[in-house]
Amino acid sequence: IVLSGGDDRLWKTWGFPDGNILMTGEGHTDWLSGCCFRPSGTQLVTSSGDSTVRIWDLSRRGCILTLRGHSRAVHDCTWHSCGDFVASASMDGTSKIWDVNSERCRYTLRGHKESVNSIEFLPFSSTVLTSSADKTLSLWDVR
């Protein structure tokens, strides 16, 4: 299964290698910039130009949680390998670590001088890598 999101405000799952659309989700009010499966494969996270991050349950075929806290478009999102945390990167110059179980922002990472364009957890660790339009990479310990 392949996951995609785009300017049409939709995410889609595709069968591979056939290319059939298996599922479509809608709810964001602006373009999708990032999408990622939860490690268990039961949910996914999306980020959008509408400044939100959303968690989707595939069995329910809908959004189960909308995370608000960024003041500008969110460029990227990812799951931690344990499946309990989501990270997001925004044009507002911050990144956030979200606790999915408590449905709250656990940490706001500040330090980049411009838009944060990508974010990724290093596998099986509490370290996050961000990249920014300020032409820097940062490693963060989010313990």
Average pLDDT over all residues of the chain: 96
Q: Where are the domains of the chain?
A: 2-141
Question: What is the pLDDT tens value at each position of the chain, 143 positions in all?
Answer: 999 999 999 999 999 889 999 999 999 999 999 999 999 999 999 999 999 999 999 998 899 999 999 999 999 999 999 999 999 999 999 999 999 999 999 999 999 999 999 999 999 999 999 999 999 999 999 98
The reported pTM is 0.93
Q: What CATH number has the domain spanning 2-141?
A: 2.130.10.10
Residues 91-128 as b/e (b if ≥16 CB within 10 A, e otherwise) read bbbbbbbbebeeeebebebeebeebbbbbebeeeeeeb
